[in-house]
């Protein structure tokens, strides 16, 4: 009935003369609240502050610390962790975790080496094959996570063991000597070369790491694909309904992570000279990269943080290791302090998240 | 909205069935939406309204039945495909990424790229264009209190979030706009704006499907009311012919509409 429809709006008559403004609140913001809000907006600020403070402290404690050689050594030592960290950052941003990163890196380096030396494939082609196979290993991770819907932790715990075992079986535990590589396939050691401005050695690998971080920072911030990675990590159901092809994005993320790990495998040959299936990266690469990611302020719950933060996280670890060594403490203090930093970083992450509530 | 019998429905469904295990959410359900109308869909909890909407918007795939858009059969395997056909949906959950900005959320899955080489080769987003478009759409909806178009959605109030979701659908829907409980989280004034917006969208010639529990709102704006009961369409009524209490009686099964003999 018409009268019924009319009466439907009559209760809103009271709106006449009401304030036209939609609810507004003026809250007194304390300095602490503003800090929390600012950190919420700029997630890489925390690791940057920690890094600067650490640099200042070590600069005071050891007069040799601020020498160019020291700083270039730190960069050199974090080159591999930094590149693997790019892979880990991508995966963690989608609320996943990749325990197989180190195994993919070592296996890829062994594949590149053995293709060249056992099968006589020209080195550049062997490198290409190694990169492709590393990508494939990541793709398998992504496929299992996205299509079979297995938890990333379990998938990569499995592939970590499988790939590491395959690596030992395939290589028959043989190391390819550095001198052989230098003589027959120098392109495998490409990233171990360096430029020496003013006598300070800077490895090509360091430039590669910085370039990869810069490229990924651009991709994640400035492209639609990057926004989709964040959306998938934030709330996959919402992303799917909003028109993101979440499965495809997940598979691409894991495959790209595999590609980065394979690049890290290539860099390892340059850095260590030899191709060794027992390189420690296979066992520790995942923990080191997760450490850099967490200290760098990327949330393990996905969707928050930046790859630049991961770079600062890796630098913090490098600065601690080098600084404590130069000060002359027991090296165990490094791990002690890094353990503290990890817990602190996650606590800060939780606190920052409350800014949104 | 008279003489619709002579007009072809823009969106039509026949015999939709959707089962989740042993639960039948849609049981040979029919549906018609005519050009330029506001069709309300009402029904008790668990009647299958959401399943119907999800089937029409591509979020779920029906087990049986067919959907036609402008007379042509369509199969949506994802919301993205439905969107490609001009069907926009505001879900009850809003489908927004809390940590991303308002502009990012509005353009999720259809981002604008910079003109020239920065866009084509380097795939760079055209943020200024996306931001000004988002700002303009929010202003049209009267959501002026949002100061910063780059603030993350999670910093907005529930009503503001809903406003952004409605603005997104209204901005991009070219054939059909589906609104699932669009006023549920809104205050009186914001609800009024959304109702005005719904009329606004219809005046642009775009038909709207409105799912709501708010009977006054339904009776105020709807041209026809589709009453959903036990997984299928019980009847379609015109708001002028029945009272709200009749509608509630139909949807709860307390009363059967004339001409419908089938007991539930």
* Cα separation, A265 vs A285, whole angstroms: 11
**Segment holding A250, helix H or strand E:** helix A246-272
DSSP notation for chain B: ---GGGSPPSEEEEEEEEEETTEEEEEEEEEEE-TT-EEEEEE-TTSSHHHHHHHHHTSS--SEEEEEETTEEE--SSHHHHHHTTEEEE-TTTT--TTSBHHHHHTTTS--B-SSHHHHTT--B-HHHHHHHHHHHHHHTT-TT---TTSBGGGS-HHHHHHHHHHHHHHH-SSEEEEESTTTT--HHHHHHHHHHHHHHHHTT--EEEE-S-HHHHHHH-SEEEEEETTEEEEEE-TTTS-HHHHHHHHHTSS--TT-----
User: How many domains are there within chain A?
Assistant: 1
Domain harbouring B223, CATH code: 3.40.50.300
Please give the tally of structural domains in chain B: 1
Lowest mean pLDDT segment, chosen from A35-49, A127-141, A147-161, B65-79: A35-49
Using a CB–CB cutoff of 8 Å, tell me whether A149 touches chain B: no
**pLDDT surpassing 70 at residue B263:** no
List of chain B residues whose C-beta atoms are within 8 Å of the C-beta of residue A225: 123
> Are the Cβ atoms of B244 and A240 closer than 8 angstroms?
no
Contact list, B126 vs chain A (CB under 8 Å): none
Q: Which of residues 67-86 of A touch B (CB under 8 A)?
A: none
Range of the domain at B56: 4-252
Least Cα distance to A107 among A189, A168, A42, A35 occurs for A168
Residue B259, both tokens: 């001409």
Q: Quick one: closest CA in A to B169, which residue? A: A242
Average pLDDT over residues A171-177: 93
Cβ within 8 Å, pair A1-B111: no
In chain B, what residues touch A228 (CB-CB under 8 Å)?
108-109
User: Looking at per-residue confidence, does B3 or A356 come out higher?
Assistant: A356
Q: Which residues of A touch B83 (CB under 8 A)?
A: 243
Q: What does residue B128 show for φ and ψ, rounded to 5 degrees?
A: -55, -45
Residues in chain B within 8 Å Cβ distance of A217: none
Q: End-to-end distance of chain B based on CA atoms, in angstroms?
A: 30
Structure tokens at A107: 């296996």
Phi, psi at A224, each rounded to 5°: -60, -40
**A14-28, A105-119, A223-237, A331-345: least confident range:** A14-28
Considering the domain boundaries, does residue A28 fall inside one?
no
Q: How far is A175 from chain B (nearest CA, A)?
A: 41
A8·B220 Cβ contact <8 A: yes
Helix (H) or strand (E) holding A195: strand A194-195
Structural domain contains residue A35:
no
Residue-level pLDDT at B213: 86
Radius of gyration of chain B from its Cα atoms, rounded to whole angstroms = 19
Would you place residue B79 in the very low, low, confident or very high pLDDT band (cuts 50, 70, 90)?
confident
A70 — alpha (psi -120 to 50), left (phi > 0) or beta?
alpha
Residue B124 lies in a domain: yes
Model confidence at B15, in pLDDT bands (50, 70, 90)?
A: very high
Nearest by CB: B97 against A8, A22, A235: A235
- Residue A278 CB contacts under 8 Å (≥ 6 apart), including other chains: A168, A173, A175
List chain A residues with CB under 8 Å of B91.
Answer: 241
Q: Which of B99, B123, B192 sits opposite A303 (nearest CB)?
A: B99
End-to-end CA distance of chain A: 45
Alpha carbon distance B170, B188 (integer Å):
20
Strand pairing class (B224-229; B38-43): parallel
Residue A36 maps to a domain: no
**If we measure between CA atoms, which residue out of A125, A344, A330, A151 comes closest to residue A250?**
A151
Whole-number pLDDT of residue A294? 94
| Residue A19 contacts B, CB cutoff 8 Å | no
**Do the beta carbons of residue A80 and residue A263 sit within 8 Å?**
no
Residue B257 lies in a domain: no
Interface test with A, best of B53, B85, B95 (most A CBs within 10 A): B95
Min Cα distance B90 → chain A (Å) is 9
Name the band, by pLDDT with cuts 50, 70 and 90, for residue A16.
low
CB count in 10 Å sphere of residue B239: 23
Per-residue model confidence as pLDDT tens digits over A251-310? 999 999 999 999 999 999 999 999 999 999 988 999 999 999 999 999 999 998 999 999
Nearest to A294 by CA among A226, A253, A249, A348: A348
Strands A194-195 and A202-203: antiparallel
Interface probe for A, chosen from B97, B138, B163, B187 (most Cβ of A below 10 Å), is: B97
pLDDT at residue A273 in the model:
92
Report the percentage of chain A scoring pLDDT > 90: 68
The whole-number pLDDT of residue A89 equals 97
**Mean pLDDT, chain A, integer:** 89
How many beta-carbon pairs below 8 A join chains A and B? 121
Q: How confident is the model at residue B4 (pLDDT cuts 50, 70, 90)?
A: very low
Please, which pLDDT band fits residue A185 given cuts at 50, 70 and 90?
Answer: very high
Residue numbers of A between 203 and 232 with CB closer than 8 Å to B: 218, 222-225, 227-228, 230-231
**What's the confidence (pLDDT) of residue A286?**
94
Judge whether residue A1 has pLDDT over 60.
no
Widest Cα–Cα separation across chain A: 95
Tell me: pLDDT of B261 over 70: no
Q: Decide if B134 is inside a domain.
A: yes
Cβ of A239 within 8 Å of Cβ of B79? The answer is: no
Pick the residue with more confidence: A99 or A349? A99
Other Cβ atoms closer than 10 A to B172? 17
CATH of the domain at A171: 1.10.3470
Angle at B144 between CA B138 and CA B146, to 5 degrees: 85
C-alpha separations of A85 from A132, A190, A229, A264, A307 in Å: 19, 21, 16, 10, 8
Mean pLDDT of chain B: 86
| Nearest neighbour of B97 by CB, restricted to A4, A239, A355 | A239
Interface probe for B, chosen from A243, A302, A349 (most Cβ of B below 10 Å), is A243
Task: Answer with the residue of higher pLDDT: A346 or A150.
Answer: A150
Which residue of chain B comes nearest to A230, CA vs CA? Answer: B100
In a domain, A356, yes or no: no
Chain B residue at shortest CA distance from A9: B216
| Cβ of residue A174 closer than 8 Å to a chain B Cβ | no
Question: What is the average per-residue pLDDT within A152-171?
Answer: 96
Give bridge partners of residue B251 from the DSSP assignment. none
Share of residues in chain A with pLDDT > 70 (%): 91
pLDDT higher for A143 or A22? A143
Statement: residue A168 has pLDDT above 70: yes
Distance from CA of B30 to the nearest CA of A (A): 24
Closest CA to B32 of B75, B70, B74: B70
DSSP string, B206-223: --EEEE-S-HHHHHHH-S
Name the residue with higher pLDDT: A19 or A59: A59
Min Cα separation B9/chain A (Å): 25
Is B145 in contact with A303 (Cβ distance < 8 A)?
Answer: no
Convert the pLDDT of each residue in A28-82 to its tens digit. 567 888 888 787 778 788 889 889 999 999 999 888 888 888 889 999 999 999 9
By the CB < 8 Å criterion, does A126 face chain B?
no
When pLDDT is averaged across residues B118-127 and rounded to a whole number, the result is 88
User: Can you tell me the mean pLDDT for B57-71?
Assistant: 91
Residue A194's H or E segment, with its range, is: strand A194-195
Tokens of B186: 């809104």
Instruction: Report the distance separating Cα B194 and Cα B183, nearest Å.
Output: 7
Considering the entire predicted model, what is its pTM? 0.87
Q: Report pLDDT digits (tens) over B137-194.
A: 888 776 666 768 888 888 887 778 888 888 888 888 889 999 998 887 777 877 887 8
pLDDT interval class at B120 (50, 70, 90): confident
Instruction: Read off the pLDDT of each residue in B70-74 and give the average, rounded to a whole number.
Output: 92
Looking at the domain assignment, is residue A338 inside a domain? yes
Rounded Cα–Cα distance for residues A347 and B9 (Å): 56
Beta bridge partners of B16: B29
Residue A172 in this model has a pLDDT that exceeds 80: yes
């Amino acid at each position: 009935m018409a009268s019924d429809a009319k009466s439907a709006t009559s209760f809103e008559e009271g709106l006449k003369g009401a304030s036209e403004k939609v609810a507004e609140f003026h809250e007194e913001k304390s300095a602490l609240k503003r800090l929390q809000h600012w950190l919420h907006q700029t997630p890489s600020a925390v690791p940057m502050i920690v890094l600067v403070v650490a640099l200042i402290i070590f600069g005071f404690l050891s007069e040799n610390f601020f020498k160019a050689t020291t700083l270039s050594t730190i960069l050199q030592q974090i080159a591999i962790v930094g590149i693997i960290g790019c892979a880990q950052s991508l995966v963690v941003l989608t609320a996943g975790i990749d325990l197989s990163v180190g195994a993919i890196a070592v296996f890829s380096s062994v594949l590149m080496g053995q293709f060249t030396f056992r099968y006589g494939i020209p080195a550049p082609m062997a490198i290409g094959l190694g990169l492709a196979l590393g990508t494939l290993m990541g793709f398998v991770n992504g496929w299992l996570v996205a299509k079979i819907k297995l938890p990333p932790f379990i998938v990569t715990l499995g592939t970590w063991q499988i790939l590491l075992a395959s690596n030992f079986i395939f290589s028959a535990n043989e190391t390819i000597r550095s001198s052989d590589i230098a003589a027959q396939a120098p392109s495998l050691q490409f990233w171990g070369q360096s430029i020496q401005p003013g006598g300070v050695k800077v490895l090509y690998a360091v430039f590669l790491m910085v370039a990869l971080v810069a490229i990924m920072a651009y991709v994640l911030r400035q492209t639609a694909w990057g926004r989709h990675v964040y959306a998938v990590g934030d709330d996959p159901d919402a992303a799917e309904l909003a028109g993101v092809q979440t499965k495809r994005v997940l598979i691409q993320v894991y495959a790209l992570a595999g590609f980065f790990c394979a690049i890290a495998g290539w860099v390892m040959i340059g850095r260590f000279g030899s191709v060794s299936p027992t390189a420690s990266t296979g066992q520790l690469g995942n923990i080191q990269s997760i450490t850099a990611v967490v200290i760098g302020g990327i949330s393990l719950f996905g969707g928050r943080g930046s790859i630049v933060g991961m770079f600062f996280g890796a630098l913090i670890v490098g600065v601690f290791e080098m600084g404590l060594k130069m000060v002359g403490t027991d090296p165990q203090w490094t791990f002690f302090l890094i353990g503290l930093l990890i817990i602190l970083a996650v606590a800060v992450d939780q606190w920052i998240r409350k800014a949104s509530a | 909205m008279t003489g619709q019998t002579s007009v072809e429905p823009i969106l039509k469904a026949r015999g939709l069935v959707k089962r989740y295990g042993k639960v039948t959410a849609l049981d040979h359900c029919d549906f018609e939406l005519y050009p330029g109308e506001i069709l309300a869909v009402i029904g008790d909890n668990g009647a299958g309204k959401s399943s119907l909407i999800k089937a029409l918007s591509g979020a779920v795939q029906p087990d049986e039945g067919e959907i036609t858009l402008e007379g042509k059969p369509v199969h949506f395997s994802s919301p993205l495909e439905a969107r490609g056909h001009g069907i926009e949906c505001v879900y009850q959950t809003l489908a927004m990424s809390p940590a991303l900005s308002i502009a990012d959320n509005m353009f999720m899955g259809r981002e604008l790229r910079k003109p020239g080489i920065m866009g084509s080769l380097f795939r760079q987003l055209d943020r200024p264009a996306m931001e000004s478009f988002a700002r303009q759409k929010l202003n049209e909806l009267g959501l002026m209190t949002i100061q910063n178009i780059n603030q993350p959605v999670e910093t907005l109030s529930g009503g503001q979030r809903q406003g952004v979701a409605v603005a997104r659908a209204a901005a991009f829907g070219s054939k059909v706009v589906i609104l699932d409980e669009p006023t549920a989280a809104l205050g009186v004034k914001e609800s009024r704006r959304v109702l005005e917006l719904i009329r606004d969208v219809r005046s642009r010639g775009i038909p709207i499907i409105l799912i709501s529990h708010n009977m006054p709102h339904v009776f105020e704006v709807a041209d026809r009311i589709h009453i959903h009961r036990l997984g299928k369409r019980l009847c379609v009524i015109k708001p002028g012919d029945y009272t709200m209490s009749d509608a509630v009686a139909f949807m709860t099964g307390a009363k059967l509409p004339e001409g419908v003999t089938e007991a539930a």
